[in-house]
């Protein structure tokens, strides 16, 4: 490949990298908006899923009344919001509508440039498969979101914590994979440095962040953050009573409020420790360039996330702080993926 063609190839890759970074930022916003929707109990306000025709909101009073009457037929209204007015319904409806509309917007923001890049001949076969996988899994995320909502439209006016956790984790997988490919394109597969000694640590950290986020989703799904609002002890105990009161024993990990919150605390603390050790390891190895920058961002975001988590707990889960805590988890994952990608370098 000539110098001119090499420069052109690198420039095209950078353009596609910027596109993917924008899409990743949109996914980040989607996760945060989804968290706010959950925290304000707005997610069950839309009792129908219209993936192709649901772009437009209600315009007339008659449209609003029809939607409100549909909502009244389901358990959340009957068991929780029986005194809700049409005005109150509009308040929760708009958040869920915006959440779904933003998901559709992400789909367009991904699909249209993808088609253009294909038409211009910018996309190699292997890269095209990666882009296609992103689009397909993104569509499956919408299906999973509706599957989650359906769990709250039956007897219990709340979504399943299992489906909530699955919905969050799939969003994070999409976000992480988009970032991985975007960073690779930005470097044009030619990283200035690599550090194999940090790869196992970085892989472990990415896995740990995912597991901690999963446990956080269980906390949200069970409203476990509304109990044991003390730190570092849980109402005076290092290990509280009642952690294994359910049978079979493993079910406590997913359905026992005490156990779920305890697990999330421990996982967060272990994550903090691993980040500190990884950062110091990087300093000892005198890493440079993008990897050094990624490690510094990782450390800063970890400190911020721990601060937000403790504050959210002590203040009994105020919506703004809780939303910031969820946003911090996504940013932390992004920094962990960035660190791993830089550490791997051009080897993959």
Given a cut of 70, whether residue 66 has pLDDT beyond it is: yes
Final residue of a structural domain among 138, 159, 190 = 190
Q: Please tell me whether residues 148 and 210 are part of one structural domain.
A: no
What's the rounded mean pLDDT across residues 280-302?
95
Residue 4 above 70 pLDDT? no
Residues 8 and 104 in one domain: yes
Same domain, 149 and 220: no
**The predicted structure's pLDDT at residue 228:** 94
pLDDT higher than 90, residue 346? no
Residues 214, 176 share a domain: no
More confident residue, 211 or 289: 211
Pair 180, 241 in one domain: no
Residue 302 clears pLDDT 60, i.e. is over it: yes
Q: How far is CA 223 from CA 38, 39, 115, 256, 322, in A?
A: 11, 10, 42, 11, 12
pLDDT at 194: 78
Question: Looking at the predicted structure, is the pLDDT value of residue 108 above 80?
Answer: yes
pLDDT of residue 51: 83
Which of 187-191, 210-214, 285-289 has the highest mean predicted lDDT (pLDDT)?
Answer: 210-214
Q: How far apart are CA 219 and CA 302, in angstroms?
A: 19
Residue ending a domain, choose from 190, 219, 239: 190
Closest CA to 27 of 181, 136, 176: 176
Domain boundary among 170, 190, 210: 190
Query: Is residue 199 domain-shared with residue 166, that is, in the same domain?
Result: no
| Residue 331: pLDDT over 90 | yes
Confidence (pLDDT) at 147: 95
348 and 217, same structural domain? yes
pLDDT of 78 higher than 80: yes
Percent of the chain at pLDDT above 70? 98
Per-residue pLDDT band for 158 (boundaries 50, 70, 90) equals: confident
Rounded mean pLDDT of 260-264? 97
Predicted confidence at residue 129, as pLDDT, reads 97
Is pLDDT of 1 > 60? no
Note the Cα 170 to chain centre separation in Å. Answer: 8
Q: 325 and 220 in one domain?
A: yes
38 pLDDT higher than 80: yes
Please check whether residues 165 and 216 belong to one and the same domain.
no
Q: Which domain holds residue 321?
A: 194-348
pLDDT exceeds cutoff 60 at 235: yes
Domain count across the chain: 2
Shared domain for 208 and 159, answered yes or no, is no
Calculate mean pLDDT across residues 198-214.
97
The answer to whether residues 183 and 210 belong to one domain is no
Q: Which pLDDT value is given to residue 192?
A: 79
C-alpha distance from residue 75 to each of 54, 97, 320 (Å):
23, 19, 27
> Are both 292 and 202 inside the same structural domain?
yes
Terminal CA-CA length for the chain: 21
Q: How far apart are CA 160 and CA 282, in angstroms?
A: 41
Residue 25, C-beta contacts closer than 8 angstroms, at least 6 positions apart: none
């Amino acid at each position: 490949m000539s110098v001119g063609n090499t420069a052109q190839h690198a420039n095209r890759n950078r353009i596609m990298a910027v596109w993917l970074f924008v899409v990743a930022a949109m996914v980040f916003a989607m996760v945060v908006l989804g968290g706010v929707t959950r925290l304000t109990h707005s997610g069950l306000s839309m009792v129908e899923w219209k993936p192709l025709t649901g772009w437009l909101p209600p315009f007339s009073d008659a449209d609003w009344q029809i939607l409100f009457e549909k909502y009244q037929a389901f358990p959340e209204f009957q068991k929780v919001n029986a005194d809700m007015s049409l005005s109150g319904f509009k308040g929760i409806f708009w958040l869920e509508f915006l959440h779904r509309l933003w998901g559709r917007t992400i789909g367009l923001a991904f699909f249209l440039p993808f088609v253009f890049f294909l038409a211009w001949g910018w996309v190699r076969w292997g890269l095209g498969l990666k882009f296609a996988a992103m689009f397909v899994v993104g569509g499956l995320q919408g299906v999973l979101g509706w599957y989650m909502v359906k769990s709250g439209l039956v007897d219990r006016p709340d979504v399943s914590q299992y489906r909530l956790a699955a919905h969050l984790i799939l969003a994070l997988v999409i976000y992480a994979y988009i970032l991985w490919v975007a960073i690779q394109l930005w470097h044009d597969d030619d990283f200035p440095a690599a550090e194999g000694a940090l790869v196992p640590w970085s892989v472990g950290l990415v896995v740990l962040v995912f597991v901690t986020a999963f446990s956080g989703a269980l906390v949200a799904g069970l409203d476990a953050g509304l109990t044991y609002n003390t730190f570092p002890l849980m109402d005076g105990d290092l290990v509280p009573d009642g952690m294994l009161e359910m049978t079979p024993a493993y079910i406590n990990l997913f359905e026992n409020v005490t156990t779920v919150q305890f697990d999330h605390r421990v996982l967060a603390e272990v994550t903090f420790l691993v980040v500190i050790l990884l950062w110091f390891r990087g300093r000892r190895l005198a890493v440079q360039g993008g990897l050094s920058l990624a490690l510094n961002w990782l450390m800063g975001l970890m400190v911020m996330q721990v601060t937000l988590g403790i504050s959210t707990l002590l203040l009994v889960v105020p919506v703004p702080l809780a939303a910031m805590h969820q946003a911090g988890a996504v940013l932390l994952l992004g920094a962990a993926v960035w660190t791993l990608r830089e550490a791997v370098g051009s080897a993959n």
